Homo-oligomer: A and B are copies of this chain.
Amino acid sequence: MPYELFYWPTIQGRGEFIRLALEEAGVDYIDVARRRGRGMGVAAMMKLMEAPAAHPAFAPPFLRVDGELIAHTANILDWLGPRLKLAPANAQARRWTHQLQLSVTDFLVEVHDTHHPIASALYYEEQKRESRRRARIFIEQRIPKYLDYFEQVLESNPQGDRHMVGRSLTYVDLSMFQLIEGLRYAFPRAMAASESSWPRLVALHDAVAVRPRIAAYLKSKRRIAFNRDGIFRHYPELDL
């Protein structure tokens, strides 16, 4: 049975962190809401979310495997990690990997709220003034706070600074790639001005980008382009 991923079909969003792991592993998966036909599409995703279930999901993304629904990006990656050989075998190291992904989760909320500081239910245009205030402080303080931390994790990895955890690729490395990609798209001037502060993260980003399966994925139609519906959005007025 292929993995069934349920996520919004027109954005990278949180689902992208899972897509990257599935793509790197080269496993069979169905991106349900992006397919057409019986039991596919956004309608199928919504139907599944609203159906009575033992373990209902609060929101996409969620994964269906053998009838079990698993939700929350970091939780899905923690589950997939060992199965895709993208997490350490050791339980303590796996918990550390998950802990790092939970910091990614927190950061993504802050990225999203640069363009939606008042409410997700309102349009950006309805909270533009507040977005400007929030984005300015986000660029000044929060990007460095998180990226300094992740850089330090690379630097202090006893097994070398090429990976976040241990000496081989994990899903958190893929997530670092995606964070750098997203920040460059959303805040190109801010990133150009400051990303030399995070040389190890940039090197990790570059190393992930040329992995054969990731490179093929990024060139494929399966990779949705960044756009103004996702978490990372480019509004020049919010950049440096």
Chain A positions within 8 Å of B, measured between CB atoms, are: 52-56, 58, 68, 70-72, 74-75, 79, 92, 95-96, 98-99, 102-103, 105-106, 109, 113, 117-119, 121-122, 127, 130, 133-134, 137-138, 141, 146, 149, 152-153, 156, 158
Cα distance A179–B71 when bound, in Å? 21
Instruction: Establish whether residues A99 and B55, one from each chain, have CB atoms under 8 Å apart when the complex forms.
Output: yes
Closest to A131 in B: B118
Q: Quick one: given A118-B137, A121-B141, are A106 and B103 in contact (CB under 8 Å)?
A: no
Cα distance A109–B109 when bound, in Å? 8
* Number of identical protomers: 2
| Nearest Cβ on chain B to A107's Cβ, whole angstroms | 9
Given contacts A117-B130, A119-B137, 6 further A-B contacts (CB under 8 A): A75-B95, A75-B98, A118-B130, A118-B137, A121-B137, A127-B133
Closest to A150 in B: B58
Interface of A is mostly: helix
Cα distance A43–B52 when bound, in Å? 49
Instruction: Establish whether residues B95 and A70, one from each chain, have CB atoms under 8 Å apart when the complex forms.
Output: yes
| Nearest Cβ on chain B to A165's Cβ, whole angstroms | 9
